[in-house]
Chain A
Amino acid sequence: MDSSNDEAVDIIITNVVATFRTRCHLNLRTIALEGINVIYKPEVGKVLMKLRKPRITASIWSSGKIICTGATSEDEAKLGARRLARCLQKLGFKVRFSAFKVVNVLAVCSMPFSIHLVDFTKKNRPIASYEPELHPAATYRIKNIKATVQVFSTGSLTITGPNVQNVATAVEQVYPLLFECRKPLCK
């Protein structure tokens, strides 16, 4: 983390979503029959396959498009995707691992102070919005890095973005704004 903050905050990545393609048609019934840890969903035209290590779940379409979720780092996602591709190869499909891309990263983070949400929203409109009737957190959307930060009054944050770097940048950007609105704990 950048040393622009006085204290480091731990960003914990809880989910990485990635996609890739096999460049060949996949027979879902074969996968469901010959693969272990596979759930067939004919009503939506896909198959779910789970791997143990790394712990990921993949949605597999007959077009060869695959979405993997559950990894806790971009590298883990890539390894999981490659393992999946190898599984499918072993099942007899002419798989070519291609177009691998991390499309979404979800992370959590905790500020060492609590936050006055109404204040934060007022100071950062319209980028920030807060609707207590709908959700207990204020939402801060950073358009240029396509990241969304959910800010809870306890100082907890959840961040979603297209990759880990953007998530880290989002936290760096939002930290000073949150710091400005920190709420005295004793009051």
Chain B
Amino acid sequence: IMRCPGCGSSNIVDDDLYCQAQLVCADCGSVTFLHVTLQRKEILGGCCVLASCRQQRWPITVGTISCLLNGDPAAVGEVYQEMIKVLNIQAPTFNKSTLYVYLSFYRYKVSLGHVPEELAEDSKGLTKRAIALVELAADSWIVTGRQPLPIMMAAVYLAWQSLKPNAQRLKMSLEKFCKLAKVQKSKTAGTRITEMKGMLYKLGKEIPWYKEVLTPDNVVSLVGDILQHRFSLLRRALKSHELSLLEKCPTSSSSEVSDLKSPSEESNPQTQELTQNWGKRVLFAPPCVVNAKRKRAERPPLHVTGDEEISDSEIESYIRTPQEARDFAMMQEKLFTSNNESS
């Protein structure tokens, strides 16, 4: 007899109401890990490797382990987190030092010897610039909550372009660059590149000596300058942003998100938009906040006690009349036999 480890009850039911079938204790609701398949045991082995590598600051990803085990990354993640909890160990994830080691493993084969001289870049310089770009991206909300690999790919690509921003490099697409560097292109990296360019544009705009028209597309040639002067450029960008906000609505303040709304502010449609979407009020915000999806239509809650009277007529609306039931049964039979005949 199976017993729930949470409350000891033997009342375990199979619940596949959601897309993943699982065993649930009907009495306390806890989900029970009662069967251990060979696959999970193999995954556990992989997780031990993953945890050990992380503790040694070797940047092995969950994706790599899943690939080697021919398993699903979500399953690996599940076992890994349980293992960490049960063993009470700590294994740091991606951070600056692991990034450096990762990029230093010459994964992107663009040093001399691998590619023609005009496309070659010394790996130390490339790594240094890529890390600087990742740090800048982290400060502008591009990194938090996102998968690390596409961000690194975008950073390496932009770093490589910006270290020698001639027509040849600037024209090279991400796809071609990945072929050159002998890495597999990540589709998400394309989105990260766009986001990073957007961020670089906001900073590059503040460079006082750049007299031409700057766009997110031609900002790559200025990356060196932007990185060198990033702190003062950031200060200038913040100031410019505040000024532009004040021009739009003189009554709002951009420093507090949780302003109390006064009636006069509410009536101004622009102020309303700003308070509802804080992403529009600040210089940098997570992309998902800036491009907020439409909120799902919330159902107004029913004000019920749970003990109301239930009318007969209401219940009857859920039940077929005897005639309807007969018709339904006949139709099902007809469908069944016609399916059999046609097959």
Q: A27: CB under 8 A from chain B?
A: no
Interface centre among A77, A118, A152 (most CB of B within 10 A): A118
The residue on B at minimum CB distance from A61 is B13
Could you tell me which residues of chain B, from 274 to 290, have a CB within 8 Å of some CB in chain A?
Answer: 278, 281-286, 288-289
Q: Which one of A13, A61, A131, A185 lies within 8 Å of B62 (CB-CB)?
A: A131
A-B contact count (CB 8 A): 152
Q: A133: CB under 8 A from chain B?
A: yes
B188 to nearest A CB, angstroms? 12
Asked if residues A36 and B304 are in contact (CB atoms below 8 Å), the reply is: no
Residues from chain B with a CB closer than 8 A to the CB of A77 are: 306
Asked if residues A132 and B146 are in contact (CB atoms below 8 Å), the reply is: yes
The residue on A at minimum CB distance from B16 is A44
Q: A169: CB under 8 A from chain B?
A: no
Q: Which one of B17, B278, B284, B315 lies within 8 Å of A83 (CB-CB)?
A: B315
Asked if residues B257 and A133 are in contact (CB atoms below 8 Å), the reply is: no
Asked if residues A134 and B73 are in contact (CB atoms below 8 Å), the reply is: yes
Asked if residues B319 and A79 are in contact (CB atoms below 8 Å), the reply is: no
CA distance A137 to B77 in the complex (A): 14
The residue on A at minimum CB distance from B332 is A33
Knowing A51-B318, A103-B29, A153-B144, the reply to whether A112 touches B299 (Cβ < 8 A) is no
Q: A59: CB under 8 A from chain B?
A: yes
Q: B325: CB under 8 A from chain A?
A: yes
CA distance A153 to B114 in the complex (A): 40
Q: B308: CB under 8 A from chain A?
A: yes
The residue on A at minimum CB distance from B90 is A125
Interface centre among A13, A90, A104, A185 (most CB of B within 10 A): A185
Q: Which one of B14, B88, B282, B329 lies within 8 Å of A186 (CB-CB)?
A: B282
Chain B 282-316, CB-CB to A under 8 Å as 1, else 0, gives 11111011000000001101101111101000111
Q: Please, could you name 13 A-B residue pairs with CB atoms under 8 Å apart, sorted by A?
A: A12-B298, A17-B29, A67-B15, A67-B17, A79-B310, A86-B310, A114-B286, A125-B90, A133-B62, A133-B93, A185-B281, A186-B254, A187-B284
Tell me the B residues contacting A by CB distance below 8 Å: 13-17, 26, 28-30, 61-63, 73-74, 77, 80-81, 84-85, 88, 90, 93-95, 139-141, 144-148, 234, 238, 241, 254, 257-258, 278, 281-286, 288-289, 298-299, 301-302, 304-308, 310, 314-320, 325, 328-329
